[in-house]
A and B are shown apart, each in its own frame.
Chain A
Amino acid sequence: MSRFQSQSGEGAPDRESGTELGATPLLEEVLQIGQVRELAASLRKLSGLSVLVRSSSGATLLDSSDDGSLDQAVPADASESIVERPSGTSFLVTPIMYDHDVIGRIAVGPVAGDGDAAASSAPRLGVEQARAHLDHFRLSLDLILHSAQRAHFASTMHLAAIEESYSELLLKNTALEAAHTRLKEIDHLKTSFLATVSHELRTPLTSIIGYSEMLSEGMVGPLTGEQLEYVQTIRNKGDELLRLILSLLDLSKLESGTLQMRPLAIPIEAVLEDAVSTLAPAAAKKGVRLRYVSGAGAEPLRADPDRLRQVFVNLTENAVKFTPKGGEVTLQAREVDALAPAEPGVILLAPVRRELEVRVADTGIGIPPHERARIFDPFYQVDQSSTREHSGAGLGLAIVKRIVLAHQGRIRIESNEPHGSVFIVTLPIVGAPASARPRPPDP
Chain B
Amino acid sequence: MQLDFSAREVTVKLVYYGPALSGKTTNLVSLHERAGDEARGRLMTLETKNDRTLFFDLLPLTFKSETGDVRLRIKLFTVPGQPVHAATRKLVLQGADGVALIADSRLTETENNAASFVDLRDNLKANGNDISRMPPVIQFNKRDLPDIRSDGELEQMATRGRELVYLGVAKDGVGVLETFIGLLQLTWLTLDKVHDLGRKLRVSGDALLASAAMQLGATESVETILGQRLGGQLAPVVTDALPTSSARGATSGGRS
- A residues with a Cβ closer than 8 A to B are 19, 32, 34-35, 155, 159, 162-163, 166, 341-353, 433-436, 439, 442
- Residues of A within 8 Å of B157, CB to CB, are 346-347, 350
Contact call A348/B103, Cβ cutoff below 8 A? yes
- Residues of B within 8 Å of A342, CB to CB, are 162
Given known A19-B49, A162-B52, A353-B114, contact A345–B107 (CB-CB < 8 A): no
Given known A159-B50, A163-B51, contact A348–B160 (CB-CB < 8 A): no
CB-based A-B contact count at 8 angstroms: 78
Which residues in chain B, 135-184, are within 8 Å of chain A measured between CB atoms? 135-136, 138, 149, 153-154, 156-158, 160-163, 165
Contact call B131/A345, Cβ cutoff below 8 A? yes
- A34, A348, A349: most-surrounded residue (chain B CB, <10 A): A348
**Complex-state Cα separation, A436 to B111, whole angstroms:** 10
Given known A163-B51, A344-B135, contact A435–B153 (CB-CB < 8 A): no
- Residues of A within 8 Å of B158, CB to CB, are 347
- Residues of B within 8 Å of A346, CB to CB, are 157, 160-161
**Complex-state Cα separation, A60 to B103, whole angstroms:** 38
Determine the residue in chain B with the shortest Cβ distance to A19: B50
Among A341, A433, A439, which residue has its beta carbon within 8 angstroms of that of B160?
A: A341
Name the interface size band of chain B: 35 or more
Identify 10 new A-B residue pairs, CB closer than 8 A, beyond the known A348-B113, A435-B108, A436-B107. A32-B44, A159-B48, A163-B51, A341-B160, A346-B157, A346-B161, A348-B114, A348-B138, A351-B114, A351-B149
Given known A159-B52, A344-B131, contact A435–B160 (CB-CB < 8 A): no
Among A155, A166, A349, A434, which residue has its beta carbon within 8 angstroms of that of B117?
A: A349
Contact call B111/A347, Cβ cutoff below 8 A? no
Whether a CB of chain A sits under 8 angstroms from the CB of B110 is: yes
Determine the residue in chain B with the shortest Cβ distance to A341: B160
**Complex-state Cα separation, A348 to B22, whole angstroms:** 14
- Residues of B within 8 Å of A436, CB to CB, are 107
The 9 closest A-B pairs by CB, nearest first: A435-B110, A346-B161, A347-B157, A435-B107, A352-B114, A348-B117, A345-B117, A344-B131, A348-B113
A-B contact pairs, 14 of them (CB 8 A): A35-B42, A162-B50, A341-B160, A344-B131, A344-B162, A345-B121, A347-B157, A348-B114, A348-B117, A349-B114, A350-B157, A434-B110, A435-B107, A436-B107
Among B52, B109, B116, B117, which residue has its beta carbon within 8 angstroms of that of A435?
A: B109
Whether a CB of chain A sits under 8 angstroms from the CB of B101 is: yes
**Complex-state Cα separation, A348 to B160, whole angstroms:** 11
**Complex-state Cα separation, A442 to B163, whole angstroms:** 20
- B residues with a Cβ closer than 8 A to A are 42, 44, 48-52, 54, 101, 103, 107-111, 113-114, 116-118, 121, 131-132, 135-136, 138, 149, 153-154, 156-158, 160-163, 165
**Complex-state Cα separation, A34 to B45, whole angstroms:** 11
- Residues of A within 8 Å of B160, CB to CB, are 341, 346-347, 350
| A276 CB, min distance to chain B CBs, angstroms | 35
Among A34, A163, A166, A352, which residue has its beta carbon within 8 angstroms of that of B111?
A: A352
Determine the residue in chain B with the shortest Cβ distance to A349: B114
- Residues of A within 8 Å of B116, CB to CB, are 348
**Complex-state Cα separation, A34 to B14, whole angstroms:** 24
Given known A352-B114, A435-B110, contact A347–B165 (CB-CB < 8 A): yes
**Complex-state Cα separation, A163 to B87, whole angstroms:** 13
Contact call B48/A155, Cβ cutoff below 8 A? yes
**Complex-state Cα separation, A353 to B160, whole angstroms:** 15
Contact call A433/B111, Cβ cutoff below 8 A? yes
- B42, B110, B121: most-surrounded residue (chain A CB, <10 A): B110
| B98 CB, min distance to chain A CBs, angstroms | 14
Determine the residue in chain A with the shortest Cβ distance to B232: A347
Determine the residue in chain B with the shortest Cβ distance to A155: B48
**Complex-state Cα separation, A341 to B117, whole angstroms:** 17
- B48, B131, B138, B149: most-surrounded residue (chain A CB, <10 A): B48
- Residues of A within 8 Å of B154, CB to CB, are 347
Determine the residue in chain A with the shortest Cβ distance to B52: A162
| B102 CB, min distance to chain A CBs, angstroms | 11
- Residues of B within 8 Å of A155, CB to CB, are 48, 54
| A236 CB, min distance to chain B CBs, angstroms | 52
- Residues of B within 8 Å of A341, CB to CB, are 160
- Residues of A within 8 Å of B121, CB to CB, are 344-345
Determine the residue in chain A with the shortest Cβ distance to B161: A346
Determine the residue in chain A with the shortest Cβ distance to B147: A435
- B107, B132, B149: most-surrounded residue (chain A CB, <10 A): B107
- Residues of A within 8 Å of B49, CB to CB, are 19
